[in-house]
Chain A
Amino acid sequence: MSNLIKDNAIVADEWTRVTPPTLGEETVRKQAGKVVLFKLTGEETFSAEQIAATKIPAGKVLVPFSVWCANKDALASRVSQGEVGLLVATHEAIEDVITEVKDINAFALVAVYVERFADGRIFTIGNLLRTRYDFKNELRAVGDVLRDQLFFLKRSGFNSYLIRADRSATEALASLKDFSEPYQGAVDIAQPAWRRTIR
C-alpha cells in the first residue's frame, strides 16, 4: 500500500525518485569553508561522477536538484509536460535553487528531503517556496517524515507527505487535525486566531 498522503487522503505515488548510483568510492563531504560552514557541514552531496552516471527513467520522475542542473536541456521538454519533479534537500539554499530554475512553477512537484526528523529547516523552506517564490503546485515532504511533523508541515505550506516506509500513513493522517485553531498566522491559514474570530 502507498505511504503517500496528499491533500488529506492516501493516494498512489506516481513519481519515481531518481537516486544517483553509489560508485564504490568514498562519499564526498563538502569542505567546511567560511560561508558554507553552517549549511553544508557534514552533509552528503553527490559527486560529479555520480551525477553523470545517473540514469533517468521514463515517466514522472523526481530528480535531485544537482542532477537536474546537469541535465537541464535534456529534461526541458519533459518538464513542460509536467513529468519532472524537483527534489531539494534541506541543506541546499533555496534561493540558489530558485535562481537556477528561474520558473519554479514549471515543475509539477517540488519535494523537500529531510534526512533527520529533527531538521526543522524543512519548515522554513516550505514557507519560502509558498510565500516568497509563489510556488503553486504539489509541495511534498520526503525522507524522515513521521506523523508528528505533519501538522507543522501542513502549516508551512506542504500538501503532500511521503511517510517513512516503516510507518503507517493511515495513522499519520489523523495528525493533520491535531489542533483545530492554531494561534499564529502561517502559510495555510495566514491570519492569526485573533484576526479570524472575535476573541
Chain B
Amino acid sequence: MYKYDAIDQQLVNERVAQYRDQTNRYLAGELSEDEFRPLRLQNGLYIQRQAPMLRVAVPYGMLSSKQLRKLGDIAKKYDKGYGHFSTRQNLQLNWPKLEDVPEILAELATVEMHAIQTSGNCIRNITTDQFAGVAPDEVIDPRAMAEVMRQWSTFHPEFALLPRKFKIAVSGTEQDRAIVQAHDIGMEFYKDAKGETAIKVWVGGGLGRTPILGTVIREHLEWQHALTYCEAIIRVYNIHGRRDNAYKARIKILVKALGIEDFKQQVEAEWLYLKDNPNTITEAELARVGQHFEAMPYENLPAHDESFDSAIASNPAFAAWVKRCVHAHKQAGYRAVTLSLKPHGHAPGDITSAQMSVVADLADAYSFGEVRASHEQNLILADVKLSDLFQLWEKAHAAGLATPNIGLLTDIICCPGGDFCSLANAKSIPIAEAIQMQFDNLDYLHDIGDLELNISGCMNACGHHHVGHIGILGVDKDGSEWYQVTIGGKQGNDASIGSVIGPSFSAEEMPGVVQRLIEVYIKERTPEERFIDTVRRIGVPPFKAHVYASKEATNV
C-alpha cells in the first residue's frame, strides 16, 4: 500500500500543529462556536449527542496492520475501547474528548494517518472497491489513481469551502462495487477500443434527502485528465451550487436544476481552460504511485488445496463460512476473506480494540500485513492462501469475527442513528440488532440467500437505505419513532432506488415486517432468484398486501 514520503509526512505533521492551534484558540475563547465548527468539521470532528465523534480517514479503505493496531490503541486510550467502521470506509470514534483530539491526531500521524477532510463541505475520502487489486473481474486497479486523487484533493485551495460535502468514488471492475452512481463524482475505469485506460465519468449521484443516481457526463475521458476534469466539474459547482439552503446544496440538485446537457456544456467549457494544466497526470507520476500497489509477492500455488477441501467436507461450520466470507482471487491458490463486523445482536460495523489487534495479527500472519475496510462495514484480508483458510477461520471465529453472514440479511448496513446522532429521527442500531436476532438461525439465513438490508435513522441516508434491497428509514411522527420500509433498492451496475411499501411501523413491529417480506419472497421465488430479483419481477403489491394484511390481523 501507499507509503508516505517526506512531503506526505510533513503535510500531516503540519496539519496536527495547525489543528492543535485551532483547538487551543477555541478552548481559550478566541474562536466562537460558529467559527470553530467549519474548522473542526474539516477535520472529522462532529459534536454529537453523547460526545464529539472523530472520523479518521482510511483512504480508499486500505490499512496496514500497524495502522489498525494503532487505531485499537487509540480507541482504548482515548475512547471506550471500540471503534466503528463507516459506510465510507472510514473509522469513527464515538467518545473522544475534544481537547484530546490534537493528541489523537499526533498519534495517527506517527502511522501515516489523519482525519483531514473526513467531514465538512470539502472533497471527502475517495472510496473504491474493497477487492481492488485482487478481484478476478478487475480491469484496472483503481488504487494508484485513488491515491493520486487523494493527494490532489488534500487542501485543494479552490475547493476548501464548497456549498456542501463532495464525495468521489472510483472503480475498475466489471461489477461495480464502489457505488459510483451514488456519488457526487463517480469514475469508472475501463479499457477503451485502443486498449488505453479510460474513464467513464458519472456526476450528481447521492443519497440523502433527495436520492438520485448519477448521470454520465462523459463516456470517455483519458486517465491523464482525471484531475483537471474534476476541477472543471467542481468549479462549476463551487460557483453555481446553492449556498442558501443546505438541503439543496449538493451537486445533484444543481445538475438536476440545470439539466445534464446544460451542466455538461458548462463543465466542458471550463475544462477547455483547465485541460493540460500542470495537474495533468503523467505516466511517470502514475507509475511512481503505482509501485506502492504492485501485486503482492505471491507464491506459485496450485488452484486446489487438499487440506482445504477436506476441511470443507468435514466441517459444516467452516464450509458455511467459506461460502459466505471467502471470495475469488485473481491469483491461483489465494482467496480474499471478509471478517464480519456484523455478529448478530451487535451494532453493525463496531469493532473492539482487542478485535482490531486480532485482525492486525491475522493480517500479519496470513495476508501480507494489510487490511481493507468495505463500505458494507466489514474488514477484508485480501490475500490469503487457500491452505491457511482453516487456521484463519479458527482464530477469527474465536474473536467473534467469523459470522458467516456476508451478503446475507443480517449483514446489515446501519448508521449510528438515534443512539449517537443528533440529527436522527429514530434509533437504528437496536432495529438492526432485533432483526439479526429474528434471523439468528443460520440455515434459514443461508436459505434466504443474498439480501442487502440497510438502515438509516433519518433521511440523510448515512445507512444507504435507498439502495438496500430492503431499506429501513427512521421517521418522526408526532415526536415518536417510526420506520418506513422500502424494497427494490439496489447498488451496483443496475442500481435502483427502493419503493416505499406503505405506512410506517413501530420499532417492535420491524422484525415481523421483515419476516413477512421474506415469507412472500420464499413463496414466490423461482429457484435462481435472489430477493431483489423477485421484487423486480413481481413488484411491490404482493409484498405490501402480505405485510399489511397481517398487520391488520394482529391489530384486531
Q: Which residues of A line the B interface, CB within 8 A?
A: 37-39, 41-42, 117-121, 123-124, 127, 131-132, 146, 148-149, 151-156, 175, 178-187, 190-195, 197, 199
Contact = CB atoms under 8 A, between A and B. Distances in A.
Interface of B: 5, 7, 10-11, 14-15, 18, 22, 35, 38-39, 121, 151-163, 227, 235, 238-244, 254, 257, 273, 277-279, 285, 288
Contacts of B244: 41-42
A156 B160 CA distance: 11
Given A155-B157, A185-B279, A192-B279, 7 more contacts: A120-B159, A179-B11, A180-B10, A182-B11, A190-B278, A192-B152, A192-B278
A141 B192 CA distance: 45
B121 A118 contact: yes
A152 B7 contact: no
A152 B162 CA distance: 13
A32 to B, nearest CB: 9
Given A42-B244, A117-B35, A181-B7, A124 B235 contact: yes
B160 A120 contact: yes
Contacts of A131: 273
Nearest to A34: B257
A197 B238 contact: no
A147 to B, nearest CB: 9
Q: For chain B, what secondary structure do more than half of its interface residues adopt (helix, strand, loop), or is it mixed?
A: helix
Nearest to A120: B161
Contacts, number: 117
A192 B227 CA distance: 12
24 contacts: A38-B242, A42-B244, A120-B163, A123-B157, A123-B159, A123-B160, A124-B158, A124-B235, A124-B238, A124-B239, A151-B155, A151-B157, A152-B157, A156-B158, A179-B11, A181-B10, A182-B157, A183-B152, A183-B154, A183-B155, A186-B158, A190-B277, A190-B278, A192-B151
B284 to A, nearest CB: 8
A127 B274 CA distance: 11
A179 B38 contact: no
Given A37-B257, A38-B254, A148-B39, A182 B158 contact: no
Interface centre among A127, A184, A186, A195 (most CB of B within 10 A): A184
A194 B257 contact: no
Contacts of A148: 22, 38-39
B5 A182 contact: no
Interface centre among A119, A151, A180, A192 (most CB of B within 10 A): A192
A190 B257 CA distance: 34
A192 B7 CA distance: 12
A119 B161 contact: yes
A109 B162 CA distance: 26
Contacts of B10: 180-181
Contacts of B238: 120-121, 123-124
A17 to B, nearest CB: 23
Contacts of B257: 37-38
A194 B243 contact: no
A154 B285 CA distance: 26
